[in-house]
Chain A
Amino acid sequence: MAIDGKISLPVVGPGDERERTYEHPLYKQLLSVPGLSLGVTSLDALLTWGLRNSLWVFPMATSCCGIELMAAAASRVDLDRMGTIVRATPRQADVMVVAGTITVKMAPRVKKLWDQMPEPKWAIAMGSCAISGDFYRDLYPVVPGIDTFLPVDVYIPGCPPNPEALMHGLLRLQEKVRLQRLGQFATPEPRPALLASTKPSIPRLNDPEREAETNEQQTADAMKTADSAVERPEATGSSAASEALSPAPALEGTTPPASWLESLFAAHGALAFPKDAPPLISADRHVALARALQERGYKQLVYIAASHWLAGRGRAGADASETEHFEVAFALRTVGRASQLASWSVRLEPGQSLPTLTEVFAGADWQEREQWDLLGVKFSGHPDLRRIMMPDDWEGHPLRKDYAADTHRAPWR
């Protein structure tokens, strides 16, 4: 504020003048009251002192940085020395300390909690994940730094920052509060060099400069990467192993299955019993198999896992004539001592759906939802086939081999 009573208001926006003057009608009269300015500044100094010496923290702790946040409140560092305590409700907090990786699904929740905090409030980005996403930065579900959606006041680098660093950050925040209240602090102009360095190498989805064929190119690149990743086990595996695992000779053999379990699998469409992979069951009989196993004591569903194979790829022994397909693996175990494991898998063509297991095992509900969410495997008859990991409006299934690694969502990228 200038001494002649002119307040300069920075106006942001194109076409506006950068400075405009405004004078309150009572300003001159108030200036003439003796001692008023002294009183006001003293009161303001007192209030500022209160404000910066009682910074209550809202712990937005999502991962390992949260442990350091807890340690900072414990006996060695003891944030309570400077009057900082942790409040569980955002309504009574002044500083939101975001400690940990924030995912795309978490970010709206963080924003909501931030909006619930009463003014004046500040935000601290604690640790490299909160600052920039760190090495999870290029992962499809990770927000590349919380300053994409929160006004961050203090950045505390580290992975994780130690408790002393957090205390240092809080001291810096105190200094910032003091300067802000004195009017000495201004938001720095965005530096063009900095903006250029944060621009991604591939234009983001919301970038108008992004070309349509970029998507196709990305998909092709991703497929190339997936291919090279799959080739590795084949190069190291011996030819004898692939011969032993090929399904055809086992079909020819008339030897009876070795155990009742294998005969059960054979009765449900299994053609081969490879040593290091579960037998393949036909899709229309796998519910009956699960029920039969459950009746024989396999009462616990351990996992449902799926993998996506592109054309020409598959489990060991697959050749170039292999088409694109999914393989969904199931495992059950008996409950009690000397637990037995039974596992099988089902081959699915793209677009083919698998009968749900939820009628047999209630626990299959979320696991099947996970496979649907991440790989797009459809389960027919599932009571509630919604996304479970990704946000409801997510496009695509991120663990598919043809999923472009860079298709990040617009608000965050």
Chain B
Amino acid sequence: MSGLVHGAVYGVLILAVVLTTSGLWIWGERKFAARLQTRLGPTIVGPFGLLQAVADVLKLLQKEDIIPAQADRALFNLAPVLAAFCALGVAAVIPFSPDVIASDLDVGVLYILGLGALTTIAIFLGGWASNNKFALLGGMRSVAQAISYEIPLVLAAMVPVILAGSLSVSDIVRWQVGHHMFALWPIVPGLPAFGIFFMAMLAESNRIPFDIPEAESELVGGITTEYTGIKFTLFYMAEYVHTLVGSAVAAALFLGGWDGPFAPGLHWMVAKTLVLFVSVYWIRWSLVRFRSDQLLTMCWRYLVPASVLLVLAAALWVQLFPEFL
């Protein structure tokens, strides 16, 4: 019973913090992007433009809710809710410290990978239900991308699972505590696996350079072309939450989670997550978009073979040098 209460309290807390961070980051990203482009970003609405995201949400709430006449109404309405649900659901099994976790699932990694893949379904649903050629093209690209990048993502996540011998995210972090981060030791499957996981995570959350499902210069608005007001807000928010939660997963699986000297574990976990999160946006505003074929080529010709080799290396390491783990 106390476990249930504990889970519920921390679940709500984590949800609130994740949502607030994503909301604040709408402002943060605009400032960050503006600085990279020698602009100022929001300065007028509120002190330092801090209330810009609030104004945006208030505005989007008041916009007319348009459902195209030829659209599939049920799926059209379901898609943004499903996208937001999948993105937020992953946050439930992420340990922010030994105590701050909503639900310590035994198969946490499996759950994370499953929900992450479901986001693609939500995006494709939105593209299909809109009955708009640009939205459908965006959805198609999204599926092609997800099928490709799911494989290196899962294989890269298998490396810490094999080394730690557990599917629970907390167990994996606990195993790293006092030893070393997986990204640093054993460095041969560890560091490349982290790199592949991070890249595949960028692709999963549709971020530049992998944002071809919503390439604005080709596809108008991609899957969100027909979405207005609050449903567009849900999609938009789901994307930010997905990136944030994905960064937290990468921090927990590869960077030692709450492990770190001089400061409480929660601080370390949050710091690692935010560093990864900001670097995602740094990459986003620095690079250009891949073409679809380049994207698939990179995945199938380089990342998939490399991640298979890494899983093999991890298995060999466990068998040959169990004392060096």
Interfacial residues, chain A to chain B (CB-CB below 8 A): 46-47, 49-51, 53-54, 74-75, 78, 80-83, 87-89, 91-92, 94, 116, 118-120
Contacts and interface: CB of A to CB of B under 8 A. Distances in A.
B61 to A, nearest CB: 8
A83 B42 contact: yes
21 contacts: A49-B58, A51-B58, A51-B59, A53-B52, A54-B58, A80-B40, A80-B42, A82-B44, A82-B45, A83-B49, A83-B55, A88-B216, A88-B217, A89-B220, A89-B225, A91-B221, A91-B224, A91-B226, A92-B221, A94-B63, A118-B63
B34 to A, nearest CB: 6
A339 B1 CA distance: 88
Query: Which of B34, B55, B220 counts the most chain A CB atoms within 10 A?
Result: B55
Contacts, number: 99
Interface in B56-85: 56-66
Contacts of A82: 42, 44-45
A94 B60 CA distance: 10
Given A82-B45, A83-B55, A92-B228, A51 B40 contact: no
Interface of B: 30, 34, 37-45, 49, 51-52, 54-66, 216-217, 220-221, 224-229, 232
A75 B52 contact: no
A74 B36 CA distance: 12
A89 B132 CA distance: 12
Contacts of B66: 91, 116, 118
Query: Which of A78, A81, A89, A120 counts the most chain B CB atoms within 10 A?
Result: A89
A370 B115 CA distance: 55
A50 B224 contact: no
A80 B38 CA distance: 12
A51 B59 CA distance: 5
A32 to B, nearest CB: 28
Query: Which of B30, B59, B62 counts the most chain A CB atoms within 10 A?
Result: B59
B229 A118 contact: yes
Contacts of A81: 39-44, 49
A75 B36 CA distance: 10
Contacts of A74: 37, 39
A298 to B, nearest CB: 36
A54 B30 CA distance: 13
A53 B62 CA distance: 13
A171 to B, nearest CB: 10
Contacts of A78: 34, 39-41
Contacts of A83: 42, 44-45, 49, 52, 55-56
Contact of A54 (B34, B38, B39, B55): B55
A50 B57 contact: yes
A203 to B, nearest CB: 40
Contacts of A94: 59, 63
A120 B62 CA distance: 8
B227 A47 contact: no
Nearest to B33: A80
A119 B63 CA distance: 6
Given A50-B54, A81-B40, A118-B65, A92 B216 contact: no
A82 to B, nearest CB: 5
B195 to A, nearest CB: 32
Nearest to A91: B228
A50 B62 contact: yes
A305 to B, nearest CB: 34
B222 to A, nearest CB: 9
Query: Which of A47, A49, A80, A91 counts the most chain B CB atoms within 10 A?
Result: A91
Contact of A92 (B41, B217, B232): B232
Contacts of A49: 55, 58
Contacts of B61: 47, 50
Contacts of B51: 53
B63 to A, nearest CB: 5
Nearest to B226: A91
A394 B323 CA distance: 85
Contacts of A46: 58
A53 B42 CA distance: 10
A28 B127 CA distance: 48
Contacts of A50: 54-59, 61-62
Contacts of A53: 44-45, 51-52, 55, 59
A315 to B, nearest CB: 47
Given A80-B39, A92-B232, A87 B221 contact: yes
B137 to A, nearest CB: 13
A80 B51 CA distance: 13
Contacts of B43: 81
A80 B34 contact: yes
Contacts of A91: 66, 221, 224-228, 232
A178 B62 CA distance: 15
A80 B66 CA distance: 26
Contacts of B42: 80-83
Given A54-B45, A81-B42, 16 more contacts: A46-B58, A47-B58, A50-B57, A50-B61, A54-B60, A80-B39, A81-B39, A81-B41, A82-B45, A83-B56, A89-B220, A89-B226, A91-B226, A91-B227, A92-B228, A94-B59
B171 to A, nearest CB: 43
A293 B18 CA distance: 71
A22 B232 CA distance: 37
B84 to A, nearest CB: 17
A51 B61 CA distance: 9
Contacts of B228: 91-92, 118
Contacts of A92: 221, 224, 227-228, 232
B235 to A, nearest CB: 10
Contacts of A47: 58, 61-62
Nearest to A78: B39
A50 B62 CA distance: 9
